[in-house]
Structure 1
């Protein structure tokens, strides 16, 4: 394939979904990514993401869904294969736990291993509680990811009802789907 034909094809996106309540919004983001980019979408669900949104639901919105950690799946879904088959990774949502793994080079799951294996852009869209986001350790992890070349835009703050607290709380989360697409498009065009 020539460079011109590679540039002409739509980007192959790997969406890494982690275990945050924000992952329940994933279908809207997948629809927006498909609408804008037109290329194949693979979703890699961590085991905690599956606690919030089942793989069967995600399959309605993606070309391929990779989930679970069964060694039987690794011939087709091993991290090096997933890395080779895509042009960018978008971690949406990116929890504090996942940002810690990315900042330190840890590989506690298949998604983190893929992120360590890719030579191309990784975009992280954080979503977590306000107190977590403000912790010095999380801020250090964010700074490390950015210094290492990761793309981690500032989260959008919004108000939601917190069932556990029984009140409205303000917290940082992912931008709306159209804005997330623009961020990813800008990262890809800068390559």
Structure 2
């Protein structure tokens, strides 16, 4: 995997919003796939819960910059308006029910939600959650509202998983990293030609 200093300039400036789901542990694979497909530069904005699943220092291996926490010294470069100005697209991966709700209702409980509210660029949400949660009317209303507001929420892929008790469940999950990169590339292309 290339270090940030080895990445050529040019290409899209991608902001990745990493939320608190076990699926965030796969983030390095998604960063690799996005970089292979799009080139560009990457900033990862992590919620405090995301940072409890995967250390920011691990994420930093695949991104030019990682933003997490709320250190006052970082506010001039990390405030939402600055993050929006410095990027071309926001990829929310994984998108939990919590972030879908916040974005759909215009709430700003964390920096990712505030960036979504401040965004002047495309925002794409890749949902990951339990099947019963995804099927709740409230979640589906939030997804419909996000789409109506011009955001992009691809239909999730359904996977089977087995928990520690041996129970098998089906749930909406992230697409393969290469598929996610393809979706982001198509969205960027539409934005350029619009």
In structure 2, the partner of 1:189 is: 189
Matched residue count: 183
CA contact (8 A) 1:24 1:52 kept: yes
| SS of structure 2 residue aligned to 1:108 | coil
Q: Deviation string for 1:46-71 (max 9, x for gaps)?
A: 01101111101101111100001233
| SS of structure 2 residue aligned to 1:48 | helix
CA contact (8 A) 2:124 2:152 kept: yes
In structure 2, the partner of 1:167 is: 167
Query: Displacement, 1:86?
Result: 0.2
**TM-score, reference length from structure 1:** 0.93
In structure 1, the partner of 2:63 is: 62
CA contact (8 A) 1:69 1:110 kept: no
Q: CA–CA distance in 1 between the matches of 2:180 and 2:28? A: 13
Q: CA–CA distance in 2 between the matches of 1:105 and 1:153? A: 20
The Cα RMSD (Å) is: 1.2
For structure 2, list consecutive stretches of 5 or more residues without a partner in the other structure: 1-8
Runs of 4+ in 1 over 3 A off after TM superposition: none
For structure 1, list consecutive stretches of 5 or more residues without a partner in the other structure: 1-7
**TM-score, reference length from structure 2:** 0.92
| SS of structure 1 residue aligned to 2:17 | strand
State which drifts further: 66-75 or 179-188: 66-75
